[in-house]
Amino acid sequence: MTNLIGLIGYPVKHSISPYFQQAALDYYHLDIRYELWETKPGRLESTIARLNKPQNLGANVTVPYKETVLPLLDEVEELASLIGAVNTIVKRDDKLVGFNTDARGFIQALSKERYFEPEGKRAAILGAGGAARAVCFALVREKASSLVIINRTTARAEALADSLRKYMAESGLETEVTTLPWQSSTSSETFSHCHLIINCTTIGMKYSPQEGQSPLSFEVIPKDVLVYDLVYNPYPTPLLQLARKAGADTLGGLAMLVYQGAASFELWTGRKAPIDIMYGKAREALPGER
Ligand code: NAP
C-alpha cells in the first residue's frame, strides 16, 4: 500500500512543495506519495480526521490553517505552540503531533547559505504575522542581541513582543525586544545599526495586491547589512533588487522554504533530507536569476 503525505491549505495548487518533497521521497525509493489536499473553508476538521487512516503518515499545513489547526491535534510541540502556528503534522503512535519547521528552516538557510550566526546580532523584522512570529522566536532562541519589530498594525507587533518577553523571562534568554510604528521604516536611522533586516510581510509577493512593491526604499538600506526576504516568488523580489543596489548582502525566501521542507521530511521519514536534490527541484519549479 502506498503511503501518503499531503499539503493542507486553500488554495494550494500553485505550491512547489510537491516537486521537492516527492524528489526527496523518490531519492530513498520510499513508497510514499506527496499530494495536494486542498481543503475548502469549513472542511479542515474532516481533512484532519482523515489523517487517522493507516496509509496517511502526516501533512504540511499552509495558509489559512496554520493557526486554526492547533486545537484539532493530539499534541503540539513547544516551539509550535509558542509561535502559535503548525506547518507540519506527524502521526506518532496513532497520535497527530504538530510541529513548526519554519523557525528551523529560517535559521538553517541563514547559516548554511550565508554563514550568518544570529548570536549577538541586531535584527529588524518587518511584519508580525505567522512568519514573523517564527522568525522572532528563532532569533531569540539563537541569542540575537536585539530585535526591533515594525508592523503596519502596531498592536500585533506589541502582542508579539509581549509573548517574546514572557518566553524569555521563563527561559532565561535576554534579547532586547522593541517595536516601532510602520512609518519608521522610511527612516534610515531605524536600520543604521542593524546586521540583519528581514521582510516577513507579503509586500512584493507575486499575485498579491503588493506585487512589484518593496517594503523599504533604497535610501534606508545600509550597505553592510544582510537583507533576507521571506517572499520567494518572484526572485529577486523588488526589495532584494534595491538591497543589491545599495550594496547589501541578500538572501531570498526559497532557501527557507527548502530547509523548512527538509525538516518536515526528516520528521516524517526519520531520514536525512537530500538538500541538494530538494533545492535543485525547487529552483527548477521557480526559476530566477540566483
Ligand atoms: P500573515 O500572517 O498574513 O502576515 C502578513 C504580514 O504582512 C503582516 O505583518 C501584515 O501586517 C503585513 N502586510 C500585509 N500587507 C501589508 C501592507 N500593504 N503594508 C504593510 N504590511 C503589510 O502572513 P505570513 O504567513 O506571516 O507570511 C508572510 C510572508 O512570508 C508571505 O509572503 C509568505 O509567503 C512568506 N513566508 C515564506 C516562508 C518561506 O519558507 N520562505 C515561510 C512562511 C512565510 P498587518 O499585521 O498590519 O496586517
Report pLDDT for 191. Answer: 98
CA pseudo-torsion sign 63, 68, 73, 79: positive
| Its pTM surpasses 0.85 | yes
Q: What is the CATH number of domain 3-100+255-285?
A: 3.40.50.10860
Alpha helix segments (H runs only) across 14-141: 17-27, 44-50, 78-83, 102-114, 130-141
Report pLDDT for 16. Answer: 94
Q: What distance in Å separates the CA atoms of residue 4 and residue 34, rounded to the nearest whole number? A: 6
Report pLDDT for 207. Answer: 85
Where in the chain do CATH 3.40.50.720 domains reside? 103-252
Grid cell of 279 as nine digits: 533545492
Report pLDDT for 14. Answer: 86
Summary mean pLDDT of the chain? 96
Q: What is the pLDDT of residues 175-209, one digit of tens each?
A: 999 999 999 999 999 999 999 999 999 999 998 99
**pLDDT class of 286 with cuts at 50, 70, 90:** confident
Report pLDDT for 77. Answer: 97
At 146, the amino acid letter reads: S
Where in the chain do CATH 3.40.50.10860 domains reside? 3-100+255-285
Could you say which of 13, 66, 166, 245 is catalytic?
66
Q: Is 202 in the pocket of ligand 1 (CB under 6 A)?
A: yes
**pLDDT class of 290 with cuts at 50, 70, 90:** low
| Mean pLDDT, range 60-77, rounded to an integer | 97
Q: What is the pLDDT of residues 5-48, one digit of tens each?
A: 999 999 998 899 999 999 999 999 999 999 999 999 999 999 99
Q: Above 80 in pLDDT, residue 229? A: yes
Reported as half-sphere exposure (CB side, CA atoms, 13 A), residue 246 has a value of 23
Testing ligand 1's pocket by substitution, the residue of 68, 201, 239 carrying the most ligand atoms inside 8 A of its CB is 201
At 195, the amino acid letter reads: H
Report pLDDT for 193. Answer: 95
Report pLDDT for 225. Answer: 98
| Mean pLDDT, range 238-264, rounded to an integer | 98
Q: Which fold has domain 103-252?
A: Rossmann fold (3.40.50)
| Mean pLDDT, range 77-99, rounded to an integer | 97
Q: Above 70 in pLDDT, residue 289? A: no
262 within 8 A of 280, measured Cβ to Cβ: no
Q: Above 60 in pLDDT, residue 282? A: yes
Please indicate whether residue 66 is annotated as part of the active site.
yes
Q: Is 47 in the pocket of ligand 1 (CB under 6 A)?
A: no
Atom of ligand 1 nearest to the CA of 156: 46
Peptide bond into 118 cis (omega under 30): no
Ligand 1: centre distance to CA 251 (Å): 17
Residue nearest to atom 37 of ligand 1 (CA): 230
Q: Above 70 in pLDDT, residue 104? A: yes
